[in-house]
Structure 1
Amino acid sequence: MTDTPPRLSRLVFHGPLSEPRADGMVRRLAATRPRSVLDIGCGWAEMLLRLLAAVPEAKGTGIDIDGEDLARARRNAGARGLDDRVEFVEESALGTPRGPADVVLCLGASQALTTAEPSTAEALRELRRLVNDGGRVLLGEGFWERPPTESELSGMWPGAAASDHHDLATLLDLAVEAGFRPEWTETADRREWEEFESGYQADLEVWLAGHPEHPLAAGIRERLDRHRAQWMSYRGVLGIAYLTLVPVTAAG
């Protein structure tokens, strides 16, 4: 066994997203024949790369502040022969000038677009600015499956509050208010969540089992146990909606 803790090698997507659902999203977006794709908070950009592979005439840009994830994205792009059609930039997406694009991906990263709290309404307005008329936005956004209890909130992320998310109906209303019509609405199911959360922890859990006395073990154990407790607090309460949004063309 290696002495170096591995990182997220079990995850294809950095979120609760299955292969069949991702395939359907790519098909719908590819049918619009985009020439430009912008990925906000792209991470290792799996959806961006799949969309570029499906639309040979498209070029893409991925923005993220995590250099390690971007390095993985660049390796994957090179392995798939896509590195001449995609650019990855390590920078903040706040106020980004890198649009508008025909397709904008924002999967679990709307907070990167604004300093407002809660961020959803302002992020949706930013996404409308970043997408061309006739284009599409694919938004992955958290929502409450049901109102969380105070006990559940206390076990989630630090400072978790009921105001951190909306219910699904309100999320859709906010998208409409920001200048979109929802073409497709879907939500992650229990299996997708369990595969994501298990995959998020699995590399380190296996490493820790084999290295209980390693100098890094105590910190990793504390982090894993804390995240597992948080997951158990939001399991069945926090959902992820995947919204394919069509911008409303301005009159004029």
Structure 2
Amino acid sequence: MNREQISRIAHTRHPIKAPLDDTSVQRLLDSGVARDQARLVDLGCGTAEWLLRALAAHPGARAEGVDVSPEALEQASAAARARGLQDRLVLHQQAAADFTAPHPFDLILSVGSTHAFGGLLPTLDAAAAQLAPGGRVLIGDGFWEREPTPEAVEMLGNYADLATTLDKITAAGWTPVLGHVSTRRELDDYEWALWGTLADWALDHPDDADSAQALETAAERRSEWLGTYRESFGFLTLVLRRTAG
């Protein structure tokens, strides 16, 4: 069982691949899609759930999704057809950092995928190059709510605290117009959903060749969450506008 298969099963009950509930997602999208005919792009879209929800809520919008995973894009395409949104969604299989379009975008999304650009600020630099005048960026990334252990840093990355993260963003020429710090309930619900769903699948498919691996992976990831980073990791999602050029 590879990483793609694990992720697909684990996210069955939580298709947004970030610790946000449905109300938070929609509030952020409604702030990001600031005009009826908006053009959107998600850089590192995965299964394109953010874009599909934006298109469903804003019938005049059009969207493009970029991801390296053919499996995720196939799932995104199937979901778009099932929801009747396929005519307003274009998907590109390529590295997000290599993507350029012949037109600017009114909303650029990158939630949980800043690693594709080498971090938060490089992601914002890439977004700025393709942002329409007056456009917005919807970006989500981790931060440390409390001093992390060395094991947590090694596992998740070298994040800053919340205040330092915002200082870096504003110093780079961006102004937050909406922000959301994931609550403890959202963070916990996300982890329980992922590893509970994966364990459920394993127990429902005892004769599958991947069942034992799935159950073991669920237990390991749950243990890592509870024992290594639950008390220190936070997640921040922002809608940003350019303050300066």
TM norm structure 1: 0.85
Unpaired stretches in structure 2, ≥5 consecutive residues: none
Q: Which position in structure 2 is the counterpart of 1:128?
A: 128
Give 1:34 shift.
5.1
Q: 1:121 corresponds to which letter in structure 2? A: L
Q: Which position in structure 2 is the counterpart of 1:239?
A: 234
Q: 2:180 corresponds to which letter in structure 1? A: E
Q: Given that residues 48 and 76 in structure 2 are in contact (C-alpha distance below 8 angstroms), is that contact kept between their aligned partners in structure 1?
A: yes
Give 1:180 shift.
1.0
> Equivalents in 2 of 1:113, 1:178: separation in Å?
16
Q: 2:121 corresponds to which letter in structure 1? A: A
Give deviations 1:64-109, integer Å, cap 9, x for gaps: 1122221221122112221111111111011321363110011100
The correspondence for 1:169, drawn from 163, 167, 180, is 163
Deviates more, 1:47-56 or 1:240-249: 47-56
Q: 2:218 corresponds to which letter in structure 1? A: L
Give 1:249 shift.
4.9
> Equivalents in 1 of 2:130, 2:165: separation in Å?
19
Percent identity for Structure 1 against Structure 2 = 32
Q: 1:80 corresponds to which letter in structure 2? A: R
Secondary structure class of the residue paired with 2:91 = strand
User: What is the aligned-residue RMSD (CA, Å)?
Assistant: 2.3
Q: Given that residues 39 and 62 in structure 1 are in contact (C-alpha distance below 8 angstroms), is that contact kept between their aligned partners in structure 2?
A: yes
Q: Where do residues 1-252 of structure 1 align in structure 2 (5 Å cutoff)?
A: 7=9, 8-33=11-36, 35-98=38-101, 100-114=104-118, 119-150=119-150, 153=151, 156=152, 159-160=154-155, 164-211=158-205, 214-232=208-226, 233-250=228-245
Q: 1:54 to 1:218 in 2, by over 3 A?
A: closer
Q: 2:138 corresponds to which letter in structure 1? A: L
Q: 1:129 corresponds to which letter in structure 2? A: A
> Equivalents in 2 of 1:134, 1:209: separation in Å?
50
Unpaired stretches in structure 1, ≥5 consecutive residues: none
> Equivalents in 2 of 1:209, 1:194: separation in Å?
22
TM norm structure 2: 0.87
> Equivalents in 1 of 2:35, 2:243: separation in Å?
15
Secondary structure class of the residue paired with 1:160 = helix
Give deviations 1:104-160, integer Å, cap 9, x for gaps: 01110011123xxxx22222222222322201101111000011123xx2xx48x33
Structure with greater proportional helix content: 2
Q: 2:211 corresponds to which letter in structure 1? A: A
